[in-house]
Amino acid sequence: MTNSKTPSILITGATGTIGSELATQLAAQGVSFRALVRSLENTQTLAALDGAELVVGDLSDADSLRRALDGIDRAFLLTNSSEQAENLQATFVEMAQRAGVKHLVKLSQFAADLDSPVRFLRYHAAVEQKIRESGLAYTFLRPNLFMQGLFGFRDPIVKQGKFFATAGDAKISLVDSRDIAAVAAEALTAPGHEGKNYDLTGPEAITHQQMAAYLSEGLGKPVFYINVSDADLRQALRSVGFPEWQADGLIEDYAHYARGEASAVSSAIQDVTGKTPRDFRNFVRDYAAVFSE
């Protein structure tokens, strides 16, 4: 940590998939930032980034948010999807407003909608609404299914050459989380993104069977996509510790994918970053070592 300038950007979720990549990209651009973390454990890589300042806190703890938001102009809001997510994020919006934050970049989800049958899409839409009503300048990032979600299937891909879901043969314009982070970095550091909703997708919509074919080609071994029932998916998620609310939410999410509702391709990543979004072949090439013994 060599940059001594007090950061004006706060990142939440900085230990997660998108947030850690966002922190890395900001540091590479020479932009100092503060990261809100729940614990300092396992944060050595984050803390070592140039311009990183870590503050311990929790979105459920208003006092810690007050400290974290002191002197902050722009903030990135992200939590995982849990039963508490809507309340946690709503608290953050209120505290950001009180602290005089000027611009909030919220990580939402593709097809966020108050009337959606998918609970994740409803809670994201509710937080978006709260932000709109707060009067804060905002940018909503609405990514589609993350390619990096496949890391959860590393073991069955390595050991059995299989991964599982309930997506059927629907096409999904899945997106690389590195490109989502690049849009977040741009929205936090450059003007012109206020009041914008960005649908963040990859450059093409592909089926899970096509994902399996690209994995087979890239890893040089056969990989199969196995379409399972909702009941099997629920059992698998519960057996690895997913709370019921989250497991049911993921089942709803995949039903939405299976209905073909997440196949649209957006130009937002190209428009905002000037770079073509990574496709699934790029993803497999870059992470081949992760999916190999």
Q: Which residues bind ligand NAP (CB under 6 A)?
A: 12-19, 36, 38, 58-60, 78-81, 88, 107, 109, 120, 143, 145-146, 149
Could you tell me the smallest distance in angstroms from the CB atom of residue 9 to ligand NAP? 16
Could you tell me the smallest distance in angstroms from the CB atom of residue 191 to ligand NAP? 25
Contacts of 69 (CB under 8 A, 6+ apart): 10, 75, 95, 96, 99, 101
Could you tell me the smallest distance in angstroms from the CB atom of residue 218 to ligand NAP? 20
Could you tell me the smallest distance in angstroms from the CB atom of residue 78 to ligand NAP? 5
* CB closer to ligand NAP, 4 vs 39: 39
* CB closer to ligand NAP, 120 vs 214: 120
Residue nearest ligand NAP, CB atom distance = 16
**Beta 224-227 vs 196-200: how paired, if at all?**
unpaired
DSSP calls for 77-102: E-----TTHHHHHHHHHHHHHHTT--
Amino acid at 157: I
* CB closer to ligand NAP, 14 vs 215: 14
Percent helix, strand and coil across the chain, each to the nearest 5: 45, 15, 40
* CB closer to ligand NAP, 14 vs 284: 14
Q: Cα(208)–Cα(176) distance, rounded to whole angstroms? A: 15
Q: Cα(235)–Cα(141) distance, rounded to whole angstroms? A: 31
* CB closer to ligand NAP, 13 vs 51: 13
Could you tell me the smallest distance in angstroms from the CB atom of residue 270 to ligand NAP? 19
Q: Cα(203)–Cα(281) distance, rounded to whole angstroms? A: 11
Could you tell me the smallest distance in angstroms from the CB atom of residue 109 to ligand NAP? 4
Could you tell me the smallest distance in angstroms from the CB atom of residue 145 to ligand NAP? 4
Distance of CA 71 to the CA centre of its chain: 25
Rg of the chain's alpha carbons, rounded to an integer?
A: 19
B/e letters for 184-205, b = 16+ CB within 10 Å, e = fewer, are: bbbbbeeeebeeeebbbbbbbb
* CB closer to ligand NAP, 91 vs 221: 91
* CB closer to ligand NAP, 31 vs 145: 145
Tokens of residue 76, six digits: 């990135």
